[in-house]
Structure 1
Amino acid sequence: MSFPAFGGPRCRVITDNDYCGDPDGLVQLVHQILSPSADLRGIIGSHLKEGDPLAPSPETADLSHQRITEVLSILDRDVPAYAGSNVGLADPKTPRPSAGAEAIVAEAMRTDTELPLYVTFGGGLTELASAYLMEPRIAGRLTAIWIGGLEHPDLAPPPPDTPGPEYNFNIDPIAARVVFNDSAIPLWQVPRDAYRQAVAGMAELAVQLRPAGRIGAYLFDQLVEIGKLAGSAGYNLGETYILGDNPLVLLSTLQSNFHPDPSSSRYAARPTPFLDEDGTYRPNSGGRPMRVYTHLDIRLMLTDLYAKLALTTHP
């Protein structure tokens, strides 16, 4: 199905996520694949935090890659898919070479296109940090969008009873600190207070996803299964689910028509702070400019997702 669009792609996207963990990444992946205004140049399956009670395998980047191929098969799409590293950085000077990191470098260093490149991350930043350590020149040739990091104290309070680092930061703290502290990569951050806005009711998701053909049923079944797995680990997820990775599509791809930018979402512009070992921030007046998103257009994000699934099922 060809969705209504006014022209060809307006940007390039590489998306990196831990697709074998929280299934919101799979929902984000399907949404990105179905969005025609982005030239999807590659999909990278990344690893989860070692020791995660919900992680299905220690080789989680390989399993993430397997999930990507399942989605592409169901949708009958041909997009390059890569595995990232199965482990995080050991130190801030040494990359973890992987097919995923090499794909980021190759796409960033292209000279035959002027389309802007967004590299989007719904988990850890291992591949971005590794790509930068392998080829620092990529810093001037892409924008990174990251779902992750603690609340900035002057912008939002943390949720109650949440000690310790934020989850995606904690997947690879060294990589996150390389990106924030050592690189010059332009960064749009969607911290925890922002990505938690992307909440949908399970009843809503049952109505919108389950009837949407094989892919909709696949996505809804993944959400149900993670709920069961969480329950067996002692978590009660209630009757809502946070589609916290879909803002990657909203910000990179669903930009306004004239003067392309994610104009219906709001951000605070500030110097990139120093990121400490525990994931907290220290002011850095000389840091490069970054965006910290504070409010997301969830209406546009969810209605666009649901409409594309419906059009895929009933063209």
Structure 2
Amino acid sequence: MLPTVRRRSVLAGSVALAGTALVPVARAAQAPRARLILDNDYSGDPDGLFQLAHHLLSPSVTISLILGSHIHPNDFMDRSTRQADHAATIAGELAALLGVTPPPILAGRNSAPPPGTPPEPTPAVTRIIAEARRSDSRLPLYYCAGAGLTDLAEALRLAPDIGRRITLVWIGGMEWPDLLLGVPPRTDAEYNLTIDSAAVETLFNASDVTIWQVPRNVYRQLTIGMAELENALAQAGRAGAFLLDALQQVRARFPDRLGETYILGDSPLVTLTALQTPYEPDSASSDYVVRPTPKLGPDGRYLPDPTGRPMRVYRTIDTRLTFTDLFAKLRAAAHT
């Protein structure tokens, strides 16, 4: 009979005998590796609520500020004139259901400023500027935006110096024709771009913010079957019920149009920040190209600018990593 061999597990140094089950070991506390400002239309498409829940449950990032932002006037998702206020309220409700003490939650502007309006130092804008100018942290600052860019653009108009301190991760913008691999480009304007196209022009054309862009054809890769989604949310306690209800309210408006899937299009904000690689942290599991930041035309099309600062345009998102991590964290939160 061969002697029993003792093998040291890679799981936090636990020891197990060959052929026997490993004893579960609690994970070590995760120190944050980045600071985040989250900016999304939490009273709009519920994909932003999944992004928020996922970020709040991700220990590798510290969230400095959550901003509720507006969508289009009279949008069917929220026809009120207080969209940003509603978004901030809903974000707080979700954090409470998750059992998480959130960072400050503020409402941004409830609509895009009229053309020619001077920038206004609203509480949200003032807080963005203060976070970008912090000198007591060496953690990189990511501005994670899943809708329009009104409040960030206002902050940059008031304080252009903060641009070099921020990496914008933005879900939005039209397809890049040369990155579609033979698929004809769409010609209609992209939703998040049109929330406040002047703000997007400020970011592309008149700032030095580093941009990581997830354009429309790429965020649509975050398509998931409703059967899988409903099954996962059924195991996620009160927060899961909240998320499922938000989805069902939208789907009930289009009972004959949405089919068997939904797009969690804001989830790449988590993939590209909280789920970076362990060594040499980066979003290495998602494919991107680096190119000069173009100028943005009034119609949202890209105007090449060879002198533009480098930006990333993502071509794929690691959906397996994104969805499995989201559902595992939601299940764990429901049982703590």
SS in 1 for 2:266: coil
Determine the structure 2 residue equivalent to 1:172: 196
Residues of 1 paired with 2:163 and 2:147: CA distance? 20
Residues of 2 paired with 1:158 and 1:165: CA distance? 20
Q: CA deviation at 1:252?
A: 1.1
The CA deviation string for residues 235-259 of structure 1, in whole angstroms up to 9 with x for no partner, is: 7111100000010011011100110
The CA deviation string for residues 56-80 of structure 1, in whole angstroms up to 9 with x for no partner, is: 3121011101111111221232221
Q: CA deviation at 1:8?
A: 0.6
TM-score (norm 2): 0.88
Contact in 1 for aligned 2:74/2:80 (Cα 8 Å):
no
Residues of 2 paired with 1:80 and 1:12: CA distance? 14
Q: Does the C-alpha gap of structure 1 residues 96 and 52 become closer, same or farther in structure 2, counting only changes over 3 Å?
A: farther
Determine the structure 2 residue equivalent to 1:309: 330
Unaligned stretches of 5+ in structure 1? none
Determine the structure 2 residue equivalent to 1:149: 173
State the superposition RMSD in angstroms: 1.9
Residues of 1 paired with 2:270 and 2:98: CA distance? 18
SS in 2 for 1:25: helix
Residues of 2 paired with 1:300 and 1:248: CA distance? 13
TM-score (norm 1): 0.94
Determine the structure 1 residue equivalent to 2:122: 98
Q: CA deviation at 1:84?
A: 0.4
Matches within 5 A, 1:1-315: 4=27, 7-78=30-101, 79-91=103-115, 94-156=118-180, 163-231=187-255, 236-315=257-336
Contact in 2 for aligned 1:83/1:98 (Cα 8 Å):
no
Q: CA deviation at 1:5?
A: 5.5
SS in 2 for 1:40: strand
SS in 1 for 2:313: strand
Contact in 2 for aligned 1:90/1:174 (Cα 8 Å):
no
Contact in 2 for aligned 1:118/1:252 (Cα 8 Å):
yes
The CA deviation string for residues 25-47 of structure 1, in whole angstroms up to 9 with x for no partner, is: 00100000000000111110000
Runs of 4+ in structure 1 off by over 6 angstroms are: 157-161
Q: CA deviation at 1:49?
A: 1.0
Q: Does the C-alpha gap of structure 1 residues 214 and 98 become closer, same or farther in structure 2, counting only changes over 3 Å?
A: same
Q: CA deviation at 1:103?
A: 1.7
